[in-house]
Amino acid sequence: MGKSTPFPTRRLVDFVIGGTQKGGTTALDAYLREHPEICMAEKNEAYFSTEHPEISTAGQKEVHFFDNEAYFFNGKPDYSNYQRRFNPEKSHKVLGEATPIYMYWNDSPRRILEYNPKMKFIILLRDPIERAYSHWNMERIRNADSLSFWDAIKNEKDRCREALPLQHRVYSYISRGLYTEQLHRLWTYFPKDRVLCLKSEDLKEGLDETLSRICEFLRVSKFNCVVSKNVHSLPYESSLTEQESDYLRRIFEPDIVQLEKELNWNCSGWLLARRGTL
């Protein structure tokens, strides 16, 4: 593999919010932008739709460098394409960005290691059943998927084959919620003490404590005062059906049980029967 192209500034990005999509990463990005010692990536203002401003808010924050095959096709990534998204001031102690597909994209952890072996990861994990439905709802709203949720999850494997050997960015409703394999891949390249895993619901139910944990992880001062945010909340046309919920619970249950063991979490709420939710 050839050497990477040099970039102007030697100040490396210190952390990424690497997942999961529809897990609260846009809200967390918004909170961290208000911290005086944290420099988040500049937003891509070109990524805007007057028709779907809520979706634009999420997309603008994302950098999508380490999942962009065009940057790595010859084995010589030009990191200046990445660095130019950051404009740190003297007061900024750490640089970070939020691109939630990184934990799902197979080659991203290795590429990130090659860029900065000391990178830290913040991973927000949401109830995978709710995550899948929220993901599909977003794709429905932006006209990226015309199938019903039931048809989409029943046919996911066949539909995702069109992206092989890569992962499918749109139809991956179930596969993105199988967290343990993604975490194991991440831990292959980075020690566990550099990967902070949090439940998405903690941002809502224990905001101050969660942000304090993140600040301690990043080694910056704690927030003085935080106002709760409701970011990137999209309307639902219909509710998750009992049939859909039961189908997904059978798929996700083994992975959730394994995740509980890996992270010493109690995820029993993710496995509760539900009907007419979301």
**How would you write the pLDDT of the chain (278 residues) with one tens digit per residue?**
445 444 445 689 999 999 999 999 999 999 999 999 999 999 876 554 445 445 555 667 889 999 999 999 888 899 998 999 999 999 999 999 999 999 999 999 999 999 999 999 999 999 999 999 999 999 998 889 999 999 999 999 999 999 999 999 999 999 999 999 999 999 999 999 999 999 999 998 999 999 999 999 999 999 987 878 776 677 787 889 999 999 999 999 999 999 999 999 999 999 986 655 55
The amino acid sitting at 39 is: C
Q: Can you point out the beta strands (E) in 164-211?
A: 195-199
* DSSP structure string for 72-116: HTTS--BTHHHHTT----TT--EEEEE-GGGGTSTTHHHHHHHH-
177: helix, coil or strand? helix
> Nearest 10 degrees: CA dihedral of 16, 197, 112, 15?
30
Q: In what order do the strands lie in the sheet with 94-98?
A: 38-40, 94-98, 15-19, 120-125, 195-199
1-32 per-residue burial string, b: 16 or more CB within 10 A, e: under 16: eeeeeebeeeebbbbbbbbbbbbbbbbbbbbb
Alpha carbon of 127 to those of 21, 71, 253: distances in Å? Answer: 12, 33, 11
Cβ neighbours of residue 164 closer than 8 Å, sequence gap 6 or more:
none
Cβ neighbours of residue 42 closer than 8 Å, sequence gap 6 or more:
85, 86, 87
- What distance, in Å, lies between the first and last C-alpha atoms of the chain? 47
User: Given the structure tokens 């050839």, which residue do they identify?
Assistant: 2
Is omega for the bond preceding 165 within 30 degrees of 0, making it cis? yes
Q: Pick from 96, 89, 133, 90: which is nearest to 112 by CA?
A: 96
Beta bridge mates, 198:
124
Q: What per-residue confidence (pLDDT) applies to 225?
A: 78
